[in-house]
Amino acid sequence: MDKTMNAFQEEILAGIPAELPEAKAYDPTINHAPKRKDILTPEQKVLALKNALRYFPKRHHAALAKEFAEELRTYGRIYMYRFRPSYEMYARPVEEYPAKSRQAAGIMAMIQNNLDPRVAQHPHELIIYGGNGAIFQNWAQYRLVMQYLATMTDEQTLVMYSGHPLGLFPSHKDAPRVIVTNGMVIPNYSKPDDWERMNAMGVSQYGQMTAGSYMYIGPQGIVHGTTITVMNAARKQLRKRGAANTDDRGGLLFVTAGLGGMSGAQPKAGNIAGVVSVTAEINPKAAEKRFEQGWVDELHRDLDELIPRIRKAVAGKEVVSLAYVGNVVDLWERLADEDIHVDLGSDQTSLHNPWAGGYYPVGYSLEESKRMMADAPEKFKDAVQSSLRRHVDAINRLTEKGMYFFDYGNAFLLESSRAGADILLPDGRFRYPSYVQDIMGPMYFDYGFGPFRWVCLSEKPEDLELTDRLAMQVLGEIAASAPEEIAGQMRDNIRWIDEAGRNHLVVGSQARILYADCEGRTKIALAFNEAIRDGRLKGPVVLGRDHHDVSGTDSPFRETSNIYDGSQFCADMAIQNVIGDGFRGATWVSIHNGGGVGWGEVINGGFGMVIDGSEDSARHIREMLFWDVNNGIARRSWARNEGARFAIEREMERTPSLRVTLPNIADEELIKSVL
């Protein structure tokens, strides 16, 4: 073993070091989380410090108390910067981790991939994406977790409370190695300020979706979903216009905002979908990062220069992604004033987190906003709300001229309505659909199609290439006899996987995503397992998914916004989903309060599964993926969604032991006559 690897392993095994490591200088070249608001009472500040010091022996308390108090004052949180590890942060090939459990080593690689500075949004604050999507609350938790994972066996389970490792508990080899809960609070205490308070005290965290469940794979995960969404939004527009070929997207203009963690996928998706895209991003660091990574083609700082560039790109039917480094409201207003025809519009600012850096109000620089949100939070809130009113007004002007606008799951409609913007119809419904209501729900989720992903733990690009080929082969075979209802979805995904390698989508680990239904996911996973067994793949593979799926998430304004039986505010599905995955073979499961659209607004869950070519892995694949997809289809079918009814009846024909309660459809006229 070489010296660096030895030091890496030793540092992991040491957990929280006995002696204090050198204090780390604040690195200004890294993208840092904004200062969080000063929300704690003096008594709660005492608690925050006592809570932080729980991780360390008493002899260090005098030094650390002072330092942590300073962090709390300066950043509104105690990150314990001093305890950032000294090794470089990225996912190593799985055999380089010190471990007694191969599954635990796989989880360590996933954690390090999430924290890789190429992948994470604010890596030093342990924020992976979405402004507040945390993997851990502080570096002591990170160190302890890595130590637990390095020393645990396949007969133990690590219990995670919002980033805090409660400990290792005896279990058995079929049990999950890790159970994660994030942000689970008593429902009456689930307002955004409750998160601020509990997070500042170090007792809870916002795990977003894949951040707190170690399943984030950089923007690729979302490029795919965004590509599918943009392609289908364009098809809708072209169909509305009576176009003969709804796949001829040349010259269509797509305007949106956000080049952050997930939103950064939009320009790339625009290019893959073959349109002209314009994305506004107020933070120059975020914009430059995406430009350097080749995810956006051109950066423009001046609207006078950008507007003619847009006209030229549209006229020339260029496939190009332009970014406006500035406030999206300025962009929308200018587009409306210039009477530019926009075909598709959306928004991916982090409006799930409007008061703490997710949305920057028009009329203020980034720095002014950052100061205001910490020093004058009420004024900041007013600025955000008045910005949203202007934002919506400009969008309304363009939709009146034919633009198709959709909410992209960032709580844009919800927060705009709360801000009093002109976003509601007379009957109280939103003026615009969510992308799930129009696209993802009826075309994908109801049929069981969702964001299946995998990571090659060998970290070898050739392993990823082989998995791409295997996935394509499996999907091709299924598509040959797929019913009409799902043939289009299969075609789009085959094209995606065929082009994925050429599009250089990997940032961080050797990972891939596609959308597949239960049959597709299971057959692909079994093909990987075979290839590991016979040595064609050089290492184990992690299977997982985004929480943004058929069954994992109850989110009334997003994943379950096309549930119309009144149960969209119930969260039984997400909870049942994660419990069921937990005893059917998942290597880790997670359940979160708040992914995507905000704390208190959604319950979402996910899983990870390390497969190693064994018969046990094959069994886990068959049993767990079946449940993971079909429980959500069954619920969607019970909600009278036609596609889901079709899909679950088809599954019952294939699987005699599946028996699902099907709804009887009542006659509306009959009901009206008796009420």
Ligand X SMILES: NC(=O)c1ccc[n+]([C@@H]2O[C@H](COP(=O)([O-])OP(=O)(O)OC[C@H]3O[C@@H](n4cnc5c(N)ncnc54)[C@H](O)[C@@H]3O)[C@@H](O)[C@H]2O)c1
* Region from 289-297, 357-365, 498-506, 634-642 binding ligand X, contact rule CB under 6 A: 357-365
The span from the CA of 63 to the CA of 580, in Å, is 46
Shortest Å distance, C-beta 31 to ligand X: 9
Which of 115, 185, 234, 262 touches ligand X (CB under 6 A)? 262
- What is the helix (H) or strand (E) element at residue 588, kind and residue range? strand 588-593
Binding flag, residue 327, ligand X (CB under 6 A): yes
Contact status: 346 vs ligand X (CB under 6 A): no
Q: Alpha-carbon torsion 245, 250, 252, 254, what sign?
A: positive
Q: Which stretch binds ligand X (CB under 6 A): 58-66, 95-103, 165-173, 349-357?
A: 349-357
Give the separation between CA 66 and CA 340, rounded to whole angstroms: 56
The C-alpha atoms of residue 60 and residue 17 are separated, in whole angstroms, by 11
Q: Do the beta carbons of residue 78 and residue 229 sit within 8 Å?
A: no
Interface with ligand X, residue 280, by CB under 6 A: yes
Mutual angle of helices 3-14 and 139-151, in 10-degree steps? 100
Dist. CA 226–CA 338, nearest whole Å: 27
With binding defined as CB under 6 A, does residue 254 bind ligand X? no
Residue 444 gets which letter from DSSP? I
> What letter would DSSP give residue 394?
H
* Residue 223 interacting with ligand X (CB under 6 A): no
Q: Is 548 in the site for ligand X (CB under 6 A)?
A: yes
Please state the closest distance from residue 635 (CB atom) to ligand X, in A: 20
- When asked if residue 408 is in the footprint of ligand X (CB under 6 A), the reply is yes
What is the closest distance, in whole angstroms, from the C-beta atom of residue 363 to ligand X in the complex?
10
Which residue number places its CB atom closest to ligand X?
A: 260
C-alpha distances out from residue 565 to 594, 665, 672, Å: 22, 12, 16
Tokens of 530: 């075979």
Q: How many CB atoms lie within 10 A of CB 96?
A: 16
CA angle 57, 63, 64 (to 5 degrees): 65
Which residue, among 94, 85, 207, 181, has the nearest Cα to 142 in the 3D structure?
85
The contacts of residue 154 (CB under 8 Å, 6+ apart) are: 100, 101, 103, 173, 177
Which of these ranges, 332-340, 342-350, 508-516, 563-571, lies near ligand X under the rule CB under 6 A?
A: 342-350
Is residue 131 part of the contact set for ligand X (CB under 6 A)? Answer: yes
Between 97 and 206, CB nearer to ligand X: 206
Q: Looking at 98, 106, 123, 130, which residue binds ligand X (CB under 6 A)?
A: 130
Q: Which is nearer to ligand X, 466 or 563 (CB)?
A: 563
* Angle, CA 408 vertex, CA 647 and CA 192 arms, to 5°: 110
Q: Which is nearer to ligand X, 359 or 405 (CB)?
A: 359
Residue 210 within binding range of ligand X, rule CB under 6 A: no
Rounded to a whole number of angstroms, the minimum distance from the CB of residue 554 to ligand X is 14
How far apart (Å, rounded) are the C-alpha atoms in residues 352 and 330? 21
User: CA–CA distance from 224 to each of 155, 315, 450, 515, 639 (Å)?
Assistant: 37, 27, 11, 8, 27
Element spanning 194, H or E: helix 192-200
User: What are the phi and psi torsion angles at 34 (to 5°)?
Assistant: -65, 160
Confirm or reject binding of residue 138 to ligand X (CB under 6 A). no
The residue range among 180-188, 403-411, 487-495, 648-656 that interacts with ligand X, by the rule CB under 6 A, is 403-411
Q: Is 232 in the site for ligand X (CB under 6 A)?
A: no
Of the pair 168, 436, the CB lying nearest ligand X is at 436
Residues 6+ apart with CB under 8 A from 28: none
The nearest distance, CB 472 to ligand X, in angstroms, is: 24
The answer to the question of residue 486 lying near ligand X (CB under 6 A) is no
3-state DSSP assignment of residue 284: helix
3-state secondary structure 182-219: ECCCCHHHCCHHHHHHHHHCCCCCCCCCCCCCCCCECE
Stretch that binds ligand X, among 297-305, 408-416, 422-430, 494-502 (CB under 6 A): 408-416
Give the Cα separation of 651 and 629 in Å (integer): 11
Query: Considering only residues 85, 202, 218, 258, which one is a binding residue for ligand X as defined by CB under 6 A?
Result: 258
Q: Does 261 bind ligand X (CB under 6 A)?
A: yes
Does residue 352 belong to the site contacting ligand X (CB under 6 A)? Answer: yes
328 binds ligand X (CB under 6 A): yes
3-state secondary structure of 79: coil
Residue located via tokens 């191969």: 102
Query: Do 108 and 69 contact (CB within 8 A), yes or no?
Result: no
* Smallest distance, ligand X to C-beta of residue 10, A: 34
Question: Interface with ligand X includes 281 (CB under 6 A)?
Answer: yes
Asked whether position 360 contacts ligand X by CB under 6 A, the answer is: yes
Q: By CB under 6 A, is residue 556 in contact with ligand X?
A: no
Q: Quick check: 560 binds ligand X (CB under 6 A)? A: no
- Encoded one letter per residue, x for contact with ligand X by CB under 6 A and - for no contact, window 592-621 reads ----x-------------------------
Q: Is 121 in the site for ligand X (CB under 6 A)?
A: yes
Residue 409 binding ligand X, by CB under 6 A = yes
Task: With H, G, I as helix, E, B as strand and everything else as coil, classify residue 554.
Answer: strand
Asked if 225 interacts with ligand X (CB under 6 A), we say yes
Residue 359 is a binding residue for ligand X (CB under 6 A): yes
Cα 353 from Cα 564, distance rounded (Å): 26
d(CA 203, CA 211): 17
Residue 207 engages ligand X in binding (rule: CB under 6 A): no
Tell me the window of 111-119, 159-167, 281-289, 467-475 that interacts with ligand X (CB under 6 A).
Answer: 281-289
Q: How far is the CB of 559 from ligand X (least distance, A)?
A: 8
> Is 227 one of the binding residues for ligand X (CB under 6 A)?
no
Tell me which residues in 71-90 interact with ligand X (CB under 6 A).
none
User: Is 282 among the residues that bind ligand X (CB under 6 A)?
Assistant: yes
> What is the token pair recorded at 247?
């796949």
Query: Contacts with ligand X: how many residues (CB under 6 A)?
Result: 34
In angstroms, the Cα distances linking 415 to 44, 343, 354, 380 are 29, 24, 8, 14
Instruction: Name which of 323 and 542 has its Cβ closer to ligand X.
Output: 323
CB of 428 to ligand X, least distance (A): 23
The stretch among 181-189, 276-284, 422-430, 475-483 that binds ligand X (CB under 6 A) is: 276-284
Tokens 């004033």 label which residue?
337
Footprint on this chain of ligand X (rule: CB under 6 A) = 121, 129-131, 222, 225, 257-263, 280-283, 286, 327-328, 348-352, 358-360, 408-410, 548, 558, 596
